[in-house]
Copies of this chain bind each other. A is one copy, B any other.
Amino acid sequence: MNTTIETILNHRSVRSFTNQAIPEEQLHHIVKSAQAASTSSFLQAYSIIGVTDPNKKKKIAELAGNQSYVAENGYFFVFCADFARLQEAADIQTKNISTAIESTEGFMIAIIDAALAAQNAAIAAESLDLGICYIGGIRNNLKEVSSLLETPANVLPLFGMAVGYPDSYQEQKPRLPEDIVFHENRYQNDKRQTQSSLLHYDDSILEYYRTRMNTKKEMTWTGQTSSTLEKTKRLYLNEFVKQKGFLK
């Protein structure tokens, strides 16, 4: 164990921040950390938009489902899949890369690149005693978020990240048992064992929600996740992602 792994294992999403701004130098370290992540074929197929304009933050908070911590935090990032810059590179070289941009592979590359960069930013921020919360909620209204941030063709905002000085900490939610997430040499597809493991995990999540400090509830993991996924969300994305030039 070391301080880096301690930082990683100590993660919990922070959903309440003080109004203290993050010093410029720390922001710079966070962005540099994001850029240091691995990137597929050196493409660096992502961009980061830092949102500080209070009106834009407020608007994004509304669009993302009225989560106050989207507007009230030390800083707000939006991570985007970005092939627009690579299109510029191809224009300079007079090459045609549209098939790659429109391919499933291209979409996967850009999402993975953006997510690796974002997680570096998250760990860097947490190592500076800042808290973070990923905001998938921007995908509730990605068309409006894209307009607000003026992202052009071939640039797709993927998720936000609120960063700041924590006003309060939540408890850590217990993760799935390691033996159900981690497989050796082959995917363990024993349905009886999986079901038994999930029911056991349900007990620990039920206990967690019953006894945690804030917003106690009666909820299991299989109950929560299947309810979330049953209420299918964001089906417009299929069309919007295509409009932005991906997954054609």
Chain A interface (Cβ < 8 Å from any Cβ of B): 1-5, 7-11, 13, 28-29, 31-33, 35-38, 40-44, 46-53, 56, 80, 84-86, 88-93, 95-97, 99-101, 103-106, 108-109, 111-112, 115-116, 118-120, 122-124, 127-128, 132-134, 136, 139, 149-152, 155, 158-159, 173, 175-176, 178, 180-187, 189, 191, 194-195, 198-199, 221-230, 232-235, 237-238, 241, 247
Q: Is the CB of A100 within 8 A of B230?
A: yes
A233 CB → nearest B CB, Å = 6
For A233, list chain B residues within 8 Å (CB): 100, 105
> Nearest B residue to A109 by beta-carbon distance?
B136
25 A-B pairs (CB sep. < 8 Å): A2-B127, A3-B4, A4-B127, A5-B127, A9-B32, A9-B33, A10-B36, A11-B36, A11-B38, A13-B38, A38-B132, A38-B134, A50-B183, A52-B185, A85-B176, A86-B225, A86-B226, A86-B229, A90-B230, A92-B222, A103-B232, A103-B238, A116-B119, A123-B123, A150-B189
From B115, B159, B241, give the contact of A104 (CB < 8 A). Answer: B241
For A234, list chain B residues within 8 Å (CB): 103-105
Say how many copies of this protein the assembly contains: 2
> Nearest B residue to A46 by beta-carbon distance?
B181
For A230, list chain B residues within 8 Å (CB): 90, 95-97, 100
Complex alpha-carbon distance, A238 and B133, angstroms = 32
For A108, list chain B residues within 8 Å (CB): 111, 139, 158, 237
